[in-house]
C-alpha cells in the first residue's frame, strides 16, 4: 500500500505547560458508564488521535472537554481553565449526524457561527469577522462554495466546512469528532497537512478517529479508549497487538506497511 502521509514531527514538550489535562474522569448517560477513570495530559502544540471502537467513549470525552457534559467524577482543564470558562479557547467540529443538512443556510453562514462567541451584544459580524470566515474557507479549500446551501455539498465538503467553522473560532485547542471519516485519500491528506500546520502555529488538536494508519504516521500521540484508557503515548507504542485486542474486544491482525499500521479483523 502507498503511504499517503508525511512523517510526523518529533514531539516537543516546550515549557511543559499542558493544553488539556483530564484527571480520573467518569461520565455516562442515564446511569450507564461511558468513561471510566480516564486521565491524560496533552502538551501544547500537539496532535492527539483518540481511537477506539464505536461506543468506546470518544464522543463522550469530547463532550466533557467541551463542557457540555459534566463528569460524574474527576475533572478536565483546558489551558488551565474549566471547560465552561475556556469556551473561547476551543474550536469544535461535531460529527455529521449532529447537523441538519436541510436547514436553509449557506456554507459561509455556518462558518460564521464559529464567530458568535466573539461578536458584540448585537451579534452583527464586522469586516474582521468576514475576513476570518473567508480565510477559514480558503484553508479547507471551500472558498468557491461559500454561498452554496449546506445540503448541496458532498460528504467530504460538509466535513471540511465543519472544520472551517472550528477554524473561524480562532481557538487554541481544537476538538474534532471524526473529521476524516469518508474522505477521499487526497482530501484526507490535505486535511492532515492543515492539522500539522495548525500544530506548528502553536495549536493543540484532539481528533477522534478510526484511522489508525493516519494517527500512526502523522499524529504526535494516541489515546486508545475502551471506556477506560487502554494506552496513551507515542502511537508506535500504543498500537500494539495486545492493546488493540483489549480496545476492540476481538482478535486483530496488525499489517505493517511502509511505516504505517493497518488493522484487519481476523476471522476464524
Domain assignment present for residue 8? The answer is: no
Domain assignment present for residue 25? The answer is: yes
From CA 20, how far away is CA 204, in angstroms rounded? 9
Q: Please write the tens of the pLDDT for every residue from 132-147.
A: 999 999 999 999 999 9
Domain assignment present for residue 250? The answer is: yes
Residues 6+ apart with CB under 8 A from 33: 26, 27, 227
Q: What is the pTM of this model?
A: 0.86
Q: Considering the chain, what percentage of its residues have pLDDT values greater than 90?
A: 74
Q: Please write the tens of the pLDDT for every residue from 150-197.
A: 999 998 899 999 999 999 999 999 999 999 888 888 888 899 999 999
Domain assignment present for residue 174? The answer is: yes
Domain assignment present for residue 6? The answer is: no
Domain ranges, residue 247:
18-265
Domain assignment present for residue 66? The answer is: yes
CATH code, domain carrying 141: 3.40.50.300
Inter-residue contact 168 to 197 (CB < 8 Å): no
Tell me how many domains the chain contains.
1
| Helix (H) or strand (E) segment spanning residue 51 | strand 47-51
Alpha carbon 41 to its chain centroid, in Å, reads 16
Domain assignment present for residue 3? The answer is: no
Strand-strand pairing, 32-43 and 18-29: antiparallel
Domain assignment present for residue 48? The answer is: yes
Amino acid at each position: 500500500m502507498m503511504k499517503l502521509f508525511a512523517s510526523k514531527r518529533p514531539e516537543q514538550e516546550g515549557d511543559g505547560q499542558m493544553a488539556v489535562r483530564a484527571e480520573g474522569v467518569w461520565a455516562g448517560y442515564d446511569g450507564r458508564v461511558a468513561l471510566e477513570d480516564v486521565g491524560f495530559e496533552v502538551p501544547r502544540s500537539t496532535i492527539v488521535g483518540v481511537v477506539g471502537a464505536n461506543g468506546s467513549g470518544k464522543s463522550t470525552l469530547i463532550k466533557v472537554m467541551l463542557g457540555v457534559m459534566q463528569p460524574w467524577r474527576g475533572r478536565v482543564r483546558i489551558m488551565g481553565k474549566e471547560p465552561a470558562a475556556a469556551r473561547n479557547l476551543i474550536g469544535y467540529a461535531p460529527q455529521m449526524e449532529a447537523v441538519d443538512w436541510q436547514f436553509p443556510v449557506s456554507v459561509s453562514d455556518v462558518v460564521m457561527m464559529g464567530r458568535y462567541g466573539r461578536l458584540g451584544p448585537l451579534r452583527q459580524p464586522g469586516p474582521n469577522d468576514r475576513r476570518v470566515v473567508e480565510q477559514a474557507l480558503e484553508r479547507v479549500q471551500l472558498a468557491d462554495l461559500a454561498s452554496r446551501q449546506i445540503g448541496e455539498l458532498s460528504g467530504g465538503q460538509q466535513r471540511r466546512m465543519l472544520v472551517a467553522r472550528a477554524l473561524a473560532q480562532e481557538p487554541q485547542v481544537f476538538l474534532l469528532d471524526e473529521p476524516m471519516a469518508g474522505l477521499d485519500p487526497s482530501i484526507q491528506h490535505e486535511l492532515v497537512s492543515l492539522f500539522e500546520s495548525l500544530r506548528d502555529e502553536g495549536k493543540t488538536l484532539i481528533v477522534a478517529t478510526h484511522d489508525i494508519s493516519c494517527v500512526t504516521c502523522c499524529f504526535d500521540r494516541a489515546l486508545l479508549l475502551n471506556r477506560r484508557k487502554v494506552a496513551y503515548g507515542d502511537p508506535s507504542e500504543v498500537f500494539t497487538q495486545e492493546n488493540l485486542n483489549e480496545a476492540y474486544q476481538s482478535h486483530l491482525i496488525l499489517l505493517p506497511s511502509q511505516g504505517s499500521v493497518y488493522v484487519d479483523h481476523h476471522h476464524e
